[in-house]
């Protein structure tokens, strides 16, 4: 069973290797720099063009887009993809919402005594509470990880990873979250999406009449 998981990760290395590097670098940054330093460095690096691009990237990582993708699977009657994606989104959402309320961390606008130090865009509604972990980031990593796992072109995994990472960056840029929020969100989204996908794959490989060879499921012709 664990061998099947290792095969899945290896097969999708173009997503998981960049993700591993992100975990290492992000962990080092959290150790070396303070919460304030990490946030203000990212939030302070802004310009008018980035304001627009980052706004787009944050919406490319929310639950609405994942819902549209699931609706497409439903329309195409791709039931397995629909249930895998839906289970991933539901599980990640439940875990994130539970953690948000259990930890109940303030967001940047409530955390800093002088909100004028924040870069806030007039068209973005900035929230004040339930900061940890980042829901947008967890959803983005779950969604793009899921797309990478099911996509035949595995070499595009690094592009999907960068799209997920751009959503994580947007949450600091838009004064919605701290670095630790998005770091944890990326782990939650990627881990639980991978587990859900793996369980579906493993169950299918155990179905009578199918054989799993090097991670590929073979179904004999009738």
- % of the chain beyond a pLDDT of 70: 93
Low-confidence winner among 63-77, 116-130, 168-182, 202-216 (lowest mean pLDDT)? 202-216
* Residues 157, 174: Cα–Cα separation, whole Å: 26
Angle at 63 between CA 60 and CA 66, to 5 degrees: 75
* Residues 182, 61: Cα–Cα separation, whole Å: 12
* Residues 139, 66: Cα–Cα separation, whole Å: 8
Q: Is residue 98 over pLDDT 80?
A: yes
pLDDT of residue 136: 96
Q: Is residue 126 over pLDDT 50?
A: yes
Contact 8, 215 (CB under 8 A): yes
Kindly tell me the sign of the dihedral angle through the C-alpha atoms of 170, 109, 92, 77.
negative
pLDDT of residue 209: 56
List, for residues 150-161, the tens digit of each pLDDT value: 999 999 999 999
Q: Is residue 221 over pLDDT 50?
A: no
Tell me what the mean pLDDT of segment 4-12 comes to.
91
Q: Is residue 78 over pLDDT 90?
A: yes
* Residues 189, 140: Cα–Cα separation, whole Å: 7
pLDDT band at 4 (very low <50, low <70, confident <90, very high): confident
How many Cβ atoms are within 10 Å of 151's Cβ, its own excluded?
14
Sequential DSSP letters for 69-90: HHHHHHHTT-HHHHHHHHHHHH
pLDDT of residue 208: 61
Contact 166, 50 (CB under 8 A): no
Kindly tell me the sign of the dihedral angle through the C-alpha atoms of 96, 101, 105, 109.
positive
Tell me what the mean pLDDT of segment 195-222 comes to.
64
* Domains assigned to the chain: 2-218 (1.20.144)
Number of separate helices (H) and strands (E) present in the chain = 10, 2
């Amino acid at each position: 069973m664990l061998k099947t998981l290792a095969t899945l990760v290896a097969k999708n290395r173009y997503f998981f290797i960049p993700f591993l590097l992100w975990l290492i670098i992000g962990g080092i940054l959290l150790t070396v720099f303070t919460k304030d330093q990490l946030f203000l460095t990212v939030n302070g690096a802004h310009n008018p063009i980035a304001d627009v691009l980052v706004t787009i990237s944050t919406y490319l990582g929310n639950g609405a887009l994942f819902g549209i993708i699931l609706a497409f699977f439903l329309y195409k009657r791709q039931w397995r993809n629909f249930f895998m994606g839906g289970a991933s989104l539901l599980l990640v959402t439940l875990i994130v919402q539970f953690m948000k309320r259990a930890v109940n961390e303030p967001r940047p606008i409530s955390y800093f005594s002088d909100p004028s130090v924040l870069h806030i865009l007039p068209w973005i509604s900035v929230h004040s509470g339930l900061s940890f972990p980042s829901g947008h980031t967890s959803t983005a990593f779950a969604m793009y990880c899921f797309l990478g796992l099911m996509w035949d072109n595995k070499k595009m995994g690094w592009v999907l990873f960068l799209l997920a990472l751009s959503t994580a960056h947007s949450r600091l840029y838009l004064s919605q979250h701290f670095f630790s929020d998005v770091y944890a969100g990326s782990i939650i989204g990627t881990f639980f999406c991978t587990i859900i996908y793996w369980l579906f794959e493993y169950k299918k490989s155990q179905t009578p009449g199918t054989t799993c060879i090097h991670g590929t499921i073979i179904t004999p012709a009738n």
